[in-house]
Amino acid sequence: MYQRTKKQYSVHALSTYKSQFEEVYLFFFARMKRFAQQYVLREEDAENIVQDIFFELWEKQLEFSSFVNLNGFLFMILKNRCIDFLRKKTLEQQAAKEIQSEYIRTLKLKFESLEALDNKFLNEPDIDTIIQKALENLPEKCREIFVMTGMREAGILRFSSPVSKIQCPYRR
């Protein structure tokens, strides 16, 4: 009597599974792809989803003959994968929309700030001239306070009198 080794049994089981898998794949692939494409719209996405399902079936080496309703099982998996795919795509689209709207807001702010930019400012020779002109427009006491706090000098001077005694016509 001929006895098979363990290796021979596993090779035989694999070839049997391979032929079962091939039969199921050829019978269901096109139908599943058409079903998926009705929901995910792009043919490539539908094909990827179905291929992923068959890849997992191959990895798990499920015994197809043990299923009472193989058609129902495969299409239930397919339905769930399509739902997952659509959820993911919806979230991606919402995130992209938010990023786009933030970008548009930023562009509008930049545009408005450039429009509001005073042309006289661009014609001034340097920032020191701008500061000097702004200081000249301040009332005398305010200008003194500004100068004493270090705008003109490198360091901050100490006041000889408390700040509350200094009067400035502009109050906040």
Q: How far apart are CA 136 and CA 130, in angstroms?
A: 10
Whether pTM > 0.85 for this model: the answer is: no
Average pLDDT over residues 30-46: 97
Residue 121: per-residue pLDDT: 63
State the Cα–Cα distance between residues 110 and 125, nearest whole angstrom: 24
Among 35, 121, 48, 129, which residue's Cα sits nearest to residue 85? 48
- Phi, psi for 42 (deg, rounded to 5): -85, 135
Chain segment 76-101, per-residue pLDDT in tens: 999 999 999 999 999 999 999 999 99
What are 102-161's pLDDT values in tens digits?
A: 999 999 988 888 887 776 666 656 777 777 788 788 888 877 777 777 654 444 444 444
Q: Say whether pLDDT at 9 is over 60.
A: no
